[in-house]
Structure 1
Amino acid sequence: MTPTMIGVIGGSGLYDLDTLTDKRWTKVSTPWGPPSDEILTGTLDGVPMAFLPRHGRGHVHSPSTVPYRANIDALKRLGVTDVISISACGSFRETLAPGDFVVIDQFIDRTFARDKSFFGTGCVAHVSMAHPTCPRLGAACLDAAQDAGITVHDGGTYLAMEGPQFSTLAESRMYRDSWGADVIGMTNMPEAKLAREAELCYASLAMVTDYDSWHPDHGAVEISDIIRVLTGNADKARALIARLPALLGADRAPCPHGCDRALDHALMTAPDKRNPALLARLDAVAGRVL
C-alpha cells in the first residue's frame, strides 16, 4: 500500500479549488521547463491533493502551447498517484448534451504540434496505449459524478484536435459519422500518453459545452455559448472532486490494471547506450525503472 495523492488538471473554466484545506500555491521546477502555472496543494478530507490549471490562471496557454510534459512531470514529482483530467469538449451525439459529463475511455489523437513523449534518442521506450485510461480511476469518477447528481455517461471516444480553431462542418461530420468519435476536444493528448509514460493512473472527464458544428439545429460553435455552459460545469466539477477522497481512500494498492508499472517492459535502449543527459531528465517520471 502507498499513500494516495490525487492530482486534478483543471480545464477551461476551472482554475482553482476552493474546497482544499491548508492550501498553498507551490512553484515546481522540472527538466522540461515550467508547468502551466504554480500547483495548488492541500488536503481534502485528509487526502493530499494537487490542482494544476491546464491553461494557467487567466487562461494564458492555448491548447498547442500547454507544457504537457512539464505538467505531468511536476505532478509526479510532487508525489501524485492518480490524475483526474477535466476538460471542456464538444459533443457528436444527441444524447451527450451540453452540461453532461463523459468518462472517457478511448482517444483518437489528431494533434501534431506537440511534444508527445518523455523518451527519445538515447532512451527509447514504447508503452501500451490500447486502454489509455485507468478503469479503476474512471469508475471512481463515475460514482462521484452520480453521487453529485451530475448527468454522466460511462465511456466515450475523445477526438483530440490541434486547434485552436474549432472544426469545419466537413471535419465535424467525418469525426462523428465515419470515425465514430463521441466528443471532441483539444487538450487530452498528449496528456494521456505522458501520464502513461510517467506510470500515473489517469482518468478523463469531458464536460460537454456544445454540439460542435455537425448539429443542424445548433450551427456553428459560439464561444459565448460555451463560456455560459463552462460556468455551470465548473461548479459540477468541484462537487465531483469533493467526493473523490472518500472513494479512493488514503492508501492505495498497486493498480490492478498495471498503470503504475507501465514501464516494466517498455525500455528498448540497452543500458550502455543510454544518454546520461536524458536519463537525468527522466528522474521523476521513470526513476522506478532506471
Structure 2
Amino acid sequence: MGMSNQVAPVGIIGGTGLTTLSGLEITGERVVDTPWGEPSSVLVDGMLGDQPVVFLSRHGNPHRIPPHQVNYRANLHALQQAGVRTVVGVNAVGGIHADMGPAHIVIPDQIIDYTWGRASTFFEGELEETTHIDFTFPYSELARALLIDAARTVGCPFSDFGVYGATQGPRLETAAEVRRLERDGCDLVGMTGMPEAALAAELKMNYVCLALVVNRAAGKSDHIITMTEIEVAIDQGMSGVKRILEIAIGGLGALTPQPS
C-alpha cells in the first residue's frame, strides 16, 4: 500500500463551481447513504496535486435545495465516512461590516446562530448519555491560519476575522433585521453556516469557513439586492476562493482530528 493511501481527504462543501479548481483531477463520484438520510449530492472524489479531496454540493446539483432544507447531518456524516478529518465550508454571504463589500473574501472566526427548526445535532433519540461539545471557537484556528496565509499569498481583498450571523432563510433579511444583526456584532449574514459547523464539531472534524461576500446586506446599500449583482460578485470573487483552496489544501490535509 503506497503512502498516498495514508493521506486523509479534505472535504469541501460548497457550490458546484468549485470542481473547476486548476490542477484538480476528478477521480470519480459516489452515491452514498447515511443513517441520517441522503446527502445533498453525490460525493465527488479528486486529487489536487498530492492531496485527495471530496466535494459535496450543499444545495444539490443542480442547485435546488433551499438552505433550511439542506440535510446537514447527512452531509457531514457522509464526509466523515469518506475519511475526511478537515472540512472547508465555502459560503456565499451578505456583507454587514463596512469593509466587507461584494467579492470580498472573509475567513470568519465566530458564529451567532439565528436558525430554528433545523436538525442540528447528532445527539438525539435513544442516547446512552448527553454530550455537550465545547463550541467556544466554532472554527479550527489551525485551518483558519492556513487559509489566511493562502489569502495573503493570493493577494485578493480579504478579512481574517468576522462574526457570521446564520439566519433561517430562504428569504433575505429586512433592513431592521440587519441592523439587529449589526448591533449583535455580526459582520456577515448567511443561511448555511449553521448547523454545519456544530455538526462537524460533534464529529470531531476540523471545520473552517471560507466566505465570499456576494452583496451588501439589506439596507447597507442604496438599492434592493438583485440576483444579477450576486452573480457578478461570485464571478469576481470565486477565482480568489479557488486559489486560496489550491494553496492551502496540502496543509489542511495534514491537520489531525480534533482531540476529544
Task: State the TM-score, normalized to the length of structure 2.
Answer: 0.91
Report the Cα offset of residue 230 of structure 1: 1.4
In structure 2, the residue matched to 1:170 is 176
In structure 1, the residue matched to 2:3 is none
In structure 1, the residue matched to 2:158 is 152
Identity %: 32
Q: 2:115 aligns with which of 83, 99, 111?
A: 111
Give the letter for the 1:131 counterpart: F
Report the Cα offset of residue 77 of structure 1: 0.3
Q: 2:203 aligns with which of 198, 207, 211?
A: 198
Q: Check whether the contact 2:86–2:252 (CA below 8 A) recurs between aligned residues.
A: no
The residue correspondences of 1:119-268 to structure 2 (distance < 5 A) are 119-123=123-127, 124-176=130-182, 178-215=183-220, 217-248=221-252, 251-252=254-255, 254=256, 260-261=258-259, 264=260
Taking the aligned partners of 1:15 and 1:56, their CA distance within structure 2 comes to: 13
Report the Cα offset of residue 214 of structure 1: 2.4
Q: Check whether the contact 1:15–1:57 (CA below 8 A) recurs between aligned residues.
A: no
Q: Check whether the contact 1:5–1:48 (CA below 8 A) recurs between aligned residues.
A: yes
In structure 2, the residue matched to 1:273 is none
Taking the aligned partners of 2:99 and 2:56, their CA distance within structure 1 comes to: 30
| Structure-2 change in CA distance of 1:87 and 1:147 (3 Å) | same
Give the letter for the 1:142 counterpart: I
Q: Which 10-residue stretch deviates more, 221-230 or 36-45?
A: 221-230
Taking the aligned partners of 1:143 and 1:104, their CA distance within structure 2 comes to: 14
Cα distance per residue 1:185-238 (max 9 Å; x no partner): 0001000000000110000111011111122x4332222211221122223222
Q: How many residues align?
A: 252
Give the letter for the 1:24 counterpart: G
Taking the aligned partners of 1:49 and 1:15, their CA distance within structure 2 comes to: 11
In structure 2, the residue matched to 1:267 is none
Give the letter for the 2:75 counterpart: N
Larger Rg: 1
Taking the aligned partners of 1:246 and 1:18, their CA distance within structure 2 comes to: 14
Cα distance per residue 1:101-137 (max 9 Å; x no partner): 1111111101112100011132222101111000000
Task: State the TM-score, normalized to the length of structure 1.
Answer: 0.82
| Structure-2 change in CA distance of 1:211 and 1:38 (3 Å) | same
In structure 2, the residue matched to 1:32 is 36
Q: Check whether the contact 2:210–2:241 (CA below 8 A) recurs between aligned residues.
A: no
SS, match of residue 130 in structure 1: coil
Taking the aligned partners of 2:192 and 2:249, their CA distance within structure 1 comes to: 25
Taking the aligned partners of 2:214 and 2:174, their CA distance within structure 1 comes to: 17
Q: 2:17 aligns with which of 14, 17, 23?
A: 14
Give the letter for the 2:222 counterpart: H
In structure 2, the residue matched to 1:282 is none
SS, match of residue 132 in structure 1: coil
In structure 1, the residue matched to 2:27 is 23
Cα distance per residue 1:155-183 (max 9 Å; x no partner): 1100000001111111111111x211000
Please, what is the CA RMSD of the aligned residues? 1.7
Structure 1 unaligned blocks of 5 or more? 265-290
Structure 2 unaligned blocks of 5 or more? 1-5
| Structure-2 change in CA distance of 1:121 and 1:196 (3 Å) | same
